[in-house]
Amino acid sequence: MPRTAPGTAAKRTLVWLGVLLALLATLLGAGSYWSNASWSPRLALDLEGGTQMILAPRAQGGGEITPEQLDQAVEIIRQRVDGSGVAEAEISTQSGQNVIVSLPGTPDAETRELIQASAQMEFRPVLFGGPGQAPAAETPTPEDQLPAPTAEPTNASDPNWITPEIFQEFEATNCLDPAALEPPEEPAPADQPMVACEPDSQGKYILGPVEVPGTDIDSASYGLQTGSQGQSLNSWAVNIDFNDEGTRTFREVTERLFAIDQGDPRNQFAIVLDGRIVSAPTTNAVIPDGNPSISGNFTEESAAALAEQLKYGALPISFEIQSEQQISATLGADQLRLGLIAGLIGLVLVAVYSLFQYRLLGLVTIASLVVAGLLTYLAICILGWTENYRLSLAGVAGLIVAIGQTADSFIVYFERIRDELRDGRGMISAVENGWRRAKRTVLASKAVNLLAALVLYFVAVGNVRGFAFTLGLTAIADLIVVFLFTHPVLRLLARTKFFGEGHAWSGLDPKRLGVTPLYRGAGRIRKPADTLPVPARARNKAAAGEAERRLTIAERRIAEQQKAMAGRGRNPENEESK
């Protein structure tokens, strides 16, 4: 099977890059038309301003709040906010008593609820269930028909926990009333039953005492369910990972609940947050490893929300918004303008250097930077729409730093091509061999950049995470551009007369390749010993060697005959006439 010609492969690669850019632009356009996407990046608190909320903490049971608990509250609130995207939020304490949360823009109801939510996460068994609406006032259950305990409860699922008082509270509760879904002023004791509503199903339940506290959860995640043979079931589930204590307790609970018929409400256990049922799944198996999976009528959004609540639900403090006000940008439009001007100056300097050092070959660098900038811009806008990513001044600094790192990849590639030309190779061969050598250097360089960005992102907070994020994003964009644009373009240019024959303005003129440039990429600077040009005789010898390698077999035989005859002092033309 014949191999695809390099020129054809290069054109095909450029087409794929165009398809990628068109898909990103179409996605962003569709998001701006049917959703809340925007063609401009979302700005962070330091550039746009936003909302400042002062939260007053409230400890469970009305006790005092220690500084350690408040610090833990700040950290978990930060995790909750950052869990929805790089929002560049600022969270701190005030006088060791309150928590100040500053968010860019105007936070929606879900964000407010996530910040205020108490971490009184509990796992309670279900004792009794019914519709969420309270019965008519004229038809209450007669007192002689109210359930009454006959013995002391033996476990948390024992129906003897249902007293007449708790059953009357159950009947009087109307889960369709929004007030019934508000967190209670005083949380129910962990060792007593309680009545709670499930907003999603609009049902209500009598729940037994707490069996597994939320502090026993190590982590939680969500994803598509898989069948017994590993196939995707196209439905979402929430996965919980308990610690050692939670694993042991949850195994005992599931052993008891699994023995109860699934039609019985007591086969269910309820996940309760702030006195409200988050989910009340049935028990389909004994869970011995502490990794239960909750399935149901989840959408991706609802599964993600439940996983987020479970993951960051172990906070022993609830919060009340004491005050809220709009705040102006700390840096504002002037600083953003100055940052953009600094980026443009850096871009111009890179362009000037490229044109000075590489003549018209520098246009490839400029075009590559433009494509990388377009790709990065679309990615930032899409991430702002889908992941609530916001661009801060630190992020702008990351973009400016990326200009030099991106140009460095092109310089390494160009210098590898020049090295090949100095060795006497033709232009097409120099591009292919130079790419094989430069590719390893570029990949190693970008791997280091990505590793540094990942480490910085995960160990830092606030604006520094924005800097690390843009640094990693631009490194990925750089790799895409080098592989899908710069290299294919050079493969095509190598087949043109202007670049292939080394025009004086092409940047690949053989007469100028003997001088080592001041900067050769990857941090390499010209040394004094490298300043001497290659002698013209060496350049001619290299060119003659390349010309000899290009000869056909017949031409090579004729040249050998002519050389042999010249060595004997005979004229090849006279011999031929004889």
The domain that contains 226 carries what CATH number? 3.30.1360.200
CA separation for the pair 108, 101 (Å, rounded) = 14
Identify the CATH number of the domain in which residue 77 sits.
Answer: 3.30.70.3400
Give yes or no: residues 258 and 377 share one domain.
no
Amino acid at 137: A
The position carrying tokens 């871009």 is 347
Identify the CATH number of the domain in which residue 21 sits.
Answer: 1.20.1640.10
DSSP string, 6-47: HHHHHHHHHHHHHHHHHHHHHHHHHHHHHSS--SSPPB-HHH
Query: Residue 2: what pLDDT?
Result: 45
Residue 522 belongs to a domain? no
Give yes or no: residues 253 and 110 share one domain.
no
The range of the structural domain enclosing residue 13 comes to: 6-37+330-512
Residues 404 and 474: beta-carbon distance below 8 Å: no
Residue 520 belongs to a domain? no
CA distance to 128, 168, 351, 566, per residue, from 137 (Å): 21, 12, 81, 124
Residue 523 belongs to a domain? no
Helices 362-386, 6-34: inter-axial angle, 10-degree rounding: 30
Residues 6+ apart with CB under 8 A from 209: 124, 156, 161, 190, 191, 192, 193
Give yes or no: residues 361 and 301 share one domain.
no
Burial of 137 (0-12, 13-18, 19+ CB in 10 A): exposed
Residue 231 belongs to a domain? yes
Give yes or no: residues 29 and 73 share one domain.
no
CA–chain centroid gap for 552, Å, is 55
Query: Residue 533: what pLDDT?
Result: 47
Q: In what order do the strands lie in the sheet with 50-59?
A: 90-94, 98-104, 50-59, 317-327
Residues 6+ apart with CB under 8 A from 113: none
Residue ending a domain, choose from 298, 327, 356: 327
Residue ending a domain, choose from 327, 351, 369: 327
Give yes or no: residues 363 and 299 share one domain.
no
pLDDT per residue, tens digit, the chain (578 aa), is 345 566 688 899 999 999 999 999 999 999 888 888 888 888 877 777 788 888 887 765 566 777 777 776 777 677 667 655 545 677 888 777 788 888 877 777 777 776 776 556 788 999 988 776 655 444 666 666 667 778 888 888 888 898 888 888 888 888 887 776 666 666 678 888 998 888 777 778 899 999 988 878 888 888 888 766 666 778 888 888 888 998 999 999 999 998 888 778 888 888 887 677 888 888 888 888 888 888 777 788 888 878 877 776 555 566 777 888 877 766 566 777 787 788 888 888 888 888 888 888 889 889 999 999 999 999 999 988 887 788 888 888 888 888 888 888 888 888 888 888 877 778 888 888 889 888 988 898 889 889 988 888 888 766 677 888 888 999 999 999 999 999 999 999 888 888 877 777 877 776 666 545 555 555 666 565 554 444 444 444 544 554 455 455 555 667 777 777 766 655 544 544 44
CA separation for the pair 465, 470 (Å, rounded) = 9
Give yes or no: residues 257 and 159 share one domain.
yes
Our CA dihedral for 476, 482, 484, 485, rounded to 10 degrees, sits at 130
Query: Residue 82: what pLDDT?
Result: 66
Closest CA to 217 of 240, 190, 248, 237: 240
CA separation for the pair 139, 132 (Å, rounded) = 16
Give yes or no: residues 348 and 411 share one domain.
yes
DSSP string, 205-246: EEE---SEEGGGEEEEEEEEEE-TTS-EEEEEEEEEEE-HHH
Structural domains counted in the chain: 4
CA separation for the pair 6, 17 (Å, rounded) = 17
Residue 263 belongs to a domain? yes
CA distance to 135, 143, 154, 275, 442, per residue, from 193 (Å): 21, 20, 14, 12, 63
Closest CA to 478 of 368, 396, 348, 391: 368
Residue 277 belongs to a domain? yes
Identify the three-state secondary structure at position 498. helix
Residues 266 and 125: beta-carbon distance below 8 Å: yes
Query: Residue 465: what pLDDT?
Result: 79
Residue 148 belongs to a domain? yes
Give yes or no: residues 194 and 282 share one domain.
yes
Give yes or no: residues 255 and 298 share one domain.
yes
CA distance to 105, 145, 167, 288, per residue, from 142 (Å): 55, 5, 11, 43
Give yes or no: residues 354 and 396 share one domain.
yes
CA separation for the pair 410, 365 (Å, rounded) = 6
Query: Residue 417: what pLDDT?
Result: 87
Give yes or no: residues 288 and 386 share one domain.
no
Residue ending a domain, choose from 306, 327, 348: 327
Residue 268 belongs to a domain? yes
Give yes or no: residues 14 and 70 share one domain.
no
